[in-house]
Structure 1
Amino acid sequence: MTDNNDTAGSGREPAEGGAAPGRVVGTPSPAAEKQLLVSEDISAPAGAGEELDEKAAKRAERVVALFFLAAFAGSVAFIAYYIGWSGRDGGMHGIDRARESNYWLGGMMALSFLALAIGVTIWVRRLMTAKPIVQERHELQADAQTRREFTQDFLEGAHDSGITKRPLLRRTLLLAAAPLGLAPLVLLRDLGPLPEKRLRHTYWGEAVKKAQAEGKKGVRLVVDGTNKPLKASDFASPGSMITVLPEGIEESHHALNQIAKAVTILVNIPADQIKGGTEKNWTVNGIVAYSKICTHVGCPAALYEQTTHHILCPCHQSTFDATDGAKVIFGPAARSLPQLPLATENGYLIATGDFPEPIGPSFWERG
């Protein structure tokens, strides 16, 4: 009978179809004879006390510099896209291009961090010597000798790292890191919009100007959802409320953003109940138009009590008196709902101008 141990330890190849031989316990591992990191490997560090091959180090230095330049390019592209391309025509702050902007911004920032990390990794693995460092523990308060030793060790470490010896790496690293430091400052823009005057006007004003340029008195009101022009006779029942928009708003650029600001409610109030806070010249047979955006935090003031003629915001219970210029009678809102000037033309309800004051909360872009 054949001894399996002798066969395993003899180093002979097994017979065809037989089991692979095993290594006898106590014999050296064949892995010790293999070189895991060859000298040409760009990630192989030099050993303790070993001087770097300057030719290979120069090659690695150029590779690292290229990665740092790629990181710089990605950071600059991130800032340029955020400020320039994504800001045109509403850009990344518009609904239509939000996903595209996220892809571009995320991709550019990922490229910058990845290139910077790869460059630093190659720098550490290929251009720094593998020098053992022993850390001794002493009292927390260092004496003068310790401080001198620390300074010496620091300078030696800086020399060993190559940052003082290789100006190309130092400059490209600083070049790559500078835009990354600016990127968070650029993103501060998303903490809130800068004071601007965009909410001082809505699409009502633009639509009225277009209509008047065509020889009309104003722009017709259309019912939200059906886009059907509304006649005064179609809305003759007191106690009713309906949401309207300016005619043609769906054809405007970035229509969703325009609709969000221009949405308006019509309420029909008995003429004898209209009070002094309402601009009566802007009403038609008791029909009054107010902005639908609550002046508290911008929720839609979409509820209406027919018996009291109160407009309610369901978010925080702000209540407005539709008979008295939509003044606040309850809740946290601080301003009345702006009133839209109305008239009729060929029997249709029209708006003859924009809201006289900015819509929405006071903290919105009302610069």
Structure 2
Amino acid sequence: MSTTQTNKIEIIESLTSKIKEVNFDNLSFGSVFTDHLFECDFTNGEWQKPVIKPYAPFLLDPSTRVFHYGQAIFEGMKAYKDTDDAVWLFRPDENYNRFNKSAVRMAMPEVPEEIFMNGLHQLLQLDEAWIKKGKGNAMYIRPFMIATGTGVIANPSNDYKFMIILSPVTSYYSGDVKVLIAEHFSRAANGGIGAAKAAGNYGAQFYPTVLANAAGFQQVIWTDDATHTKLEEAGTMNVFFRINDTLLTAPVSERILDGVTRKTLIDLAKSEGIEVEIRPVLVSELVEAAKNGTLKEIFGAGTAAVVSPISGFSYQDVYFELPKIEKSVAIQLKDKLTNIQNKLEKDTFGWTVKI
């Protein structure tokens, strides 16, 4: 290994690379990781010297707080390589700001922008060869932080570890997606941590989703915890509904994540002259629109899949198949967004940031 120091980050380079062992034409999402990772510890009330080093497991004490009290947060981002081999991030400031909002909600220290952004840029520069050109190819970026203090007393940890790992990905295709509208389970509650990218939010979704899978559905559309009458998110994504020619999506709240893809699609839709209403969407409204033929599309929006069209939904044991749409708004917006991310169209919004 060789060691250097750049902009206060110690860089320990791997002597060998795994890249030749990877089949980039057959990647399972989030299962392959690059040669290096970024790491910075928070101890004694301050952030320590950050380091980029070879990707490898690390040891934790059995009493480490993250295992017992769930102080863990993360983000999902992507980097893209254009036809001139330049590497671009998409709205990284949004992810950075949301990461620290999650940290505050989970009683964790905020990560300084210099550590987050410099670490991200230098890690991507070091493992740039893993980022492949071509629409659909990207580098999935997972910044995360865990509580590393020891002891099983039920208090916030004093020590934390912030890390960034990288995973090359190709186009995310989930096949035909049928969803079950939740009548009992909720993703989050008022006063809870639904607006944070907390690990526990996702763990809590697994059981209701397993039940939906057993019933023949790929995902759950979550409803509000108080009345189960308002549609909130689809699986781990924000969700949009197209009734006639209007896009509807729920406003962000304590229960609903402020998705970067969600807000991007809203801006793109408005720029394309598509009417958008950000308001509570009722289950009864969706069912009525499905019955009278005005419901045209439902789709999820998130970093991994960008846009995930939904083919039908079930509510109270009644299944509603959506019509096949020739001019899908979901596909139109996805193409526009991925073209901007891959620098195939001009970014008039100022969303892309060069590495």
Q: Higher relative CO (CA 8 A, sep ≥ 6), structure 1 or 2?
A: 2
Larger strand fraction of residues = 2
- Regarding TM over 0.5, the answer is no
| TM-score normalised to structure 2 length | 0.24
Larger helix fraction of residues = 1
